[in-house]
Amino acid sequence: MMWKSRVGEYIEGKINEGELIHLSLIDPAKVQDLRSLPEMVRRLADAGTDAFLVGGSIGVSESDVDSVVTVIRESNKPVILFPGNVNGLSRMADAVLFMSLLNSDDIYYIIGAQIVGAPIVKKYGLEPLPTAYIVVGYGGTAGFIGKVRALPIEKPEIGAAYALAAEYLGMKYIYLEAGSGSPQPITPQYIKYVSSTISKSHLIIGGGIRKPEDIVKIANAGAHIVVTGNIIEDDLSRAEELIRTAKRFK
Ligand code: 1GP
């Protein structure tokens, strides 16, 4: 229970030190064989990832989340849930991105799932990290399942308006999501526009990050946190390289 209620503080401390935070995303629905997970987790942790995100949009059961989180905990890095729905919660984790999918057309993803899930978060003693989730461009499965009206990538002022509204509502983290497996990450121009509009919230960027240059561009554009997911399963050595690139950034 070493991270209980201290994950936000840990992230904040690193951001205040000027570090770029790297999060490794594991989707429990995509874990084929739990026996190969400890080695994968060890390599990501050794490369320097700051914490693990666990979640997905489809095919996730609470018992699978429990199993995956139990393995990842051995790394001693914080385990943060990234729930696509209420079934993404696990009492084994340390914290949860308590998200509202702001550009969904379905009120369920904006406040419905949250009211169903909040008492569970409390009961499990998970640390809630208040997060605005905003899908930009491609969207992928999260966009489809979340009934998203994706923001046009060529109009960063719309993303900035969402981010500012989220900040004014007190959301501490703003997650700009291109969609898992997106052909490309959110552009540096877009990130720069949003990051220069907000002043207090921390900007998380994810979706389609595959190259070290992507990390450098995203960091230079003002992101505080980067997330990589698919690359872990596709090319673990490349995933390690991305982490090392992120952690060299200061
Ligand atoms: C998805 O932002 C994350 O929610 C990560 O995306 O799987 O494309 O790295 P990738």
Give per-residue pLDDT as tens, 15-71: 999 999 999 999 999 998 999 999 999 999 999 999 999 999 999 999 999 999 999
Distance 180 CA to ligand 1 centre (A): 4
Atom of ligand 1 nearest to the CA of 182: 8
DSSP 36: G
CA 94 to the chain's CA centroid: 14
Q: What is the mean pLDDT of residues 86-91?
A: 97
pTM over 0.85? The answer is yes
Q: Return the residue whose CA atom lies nearest to atom 2 of ligand 1.
A: 206
Pocket of ligand 1 (CB under 6 A): 25, 142, 177, 180-182, 206-209, 227-231
Given the structure tokens 């690193």, which residue do they identify? Answer: 14
The residue nearest atom 1 of ligand 1, judged by CA position, is 180
- Residue 206 CA: nearest ligand 1 atom is 2
pLDDT digits (tens, 9 = 90+) for 43-58: 999 999 999 999 999 9
* Cα 164 to middle of ligand 1, angstroms: 23
pLDDT at position 2 is 82
To test ligand 1's pocket by mutation, which of 180, 204, 235, 243 has the most ligand atoms within 8 angstroms of CB?
180
Please report, for the chain, the start and end positions of each structural domain, with discontinuous segments joined by +: 7-246
Can you tell me the distance from the alpha carbon of 248 to that of 146, in angstroms, rounded to the nearest whole number? 35
Pick the CATH number of 7-246 from 3.40.640.10, 3.20.20.390, 3.60.20.10, 1.10.486.10: 3.20.20.390
Query: Average pLDDT for residues 213-231, to the nearest whole number?
Result: 98
pLDDT at 133: 98
Nearest CA to 53 out of 43, 68, 63, 39 is that of 68
Dist CA 217 CA 191 (whole Å): 10
Q: Is the dihedral of CA 212, 42, 249, 132 positive or negative?
A: positive
> 135-189 pLDDT, tens per residue?
999 999 999 999 999 999 999 999 999 999 999 999 999 999 999 999 999 999 9
